[in-house]
Amino acid sequence: MPLKLDLRPHEKVFLNGAVIVNGDSRCHLAVLNDVPVLREKDILKEERADTPCKRIYLMVQHMYMDEANLSAYHQRYWAEVRPVIEAAPSTTPLISKISEEILAGRYYQALKAARTLIRYEQELLSNAS
């Protein structure tokens, strides 16, 4: 089943290693094969990865977008995960879900689970203040 993308004017999308920018009007695309696709709104830039869970998301994003360097990103992912679980054991089920998806090679699903982890982190931080 094709992935259907509706792009707003000037919206960017990452498509299998290429960054594509839409023109002045809406655009409708169908991606017919299984390749990494991320909308601009779902891409976390390195300078915005300012919390431990955002750094976890960033590592998963790199795994999804840069398959050639998976080993390095896996190592960095596990290095980021350990201190989060130690500091907040309640994150374990969420991190376990992300890790399961990574180990199965389902990086997009791991990204979705990592977004849930970021929301949970924000909730923990707001309760702590």
Helix or strand or coil: residue 2?
coil
pLDDT digits (tens, 9 = 90+) for 4-16: 999 999 999 999 8
Dihedral of alpha carbons 72, 97, 55, 34, sign: positive
At 38 the three-state DSSP class reads strand
Q: How many Å apart are CA 52 and CA 34, to the nearest integer?
A: 30
At 67, list the tokens: 């398959």
**pTM recorded for the entire structure:** 0.90
Q: What is the pLDDT of residues 95-111, one digit of tens each?
A: 999 999 999 999 999 99
Residue 2 pLDDT more than 80? Answer: yes
Question: What tens digit of pLDDT does each residue of 58-92 get?
Answer: 999 999 999 899 999 999 999 999 999 999 999 99
Phi then psi for residue 11, to 5 deg, are -75, 145
pLDDT for position 128: 79
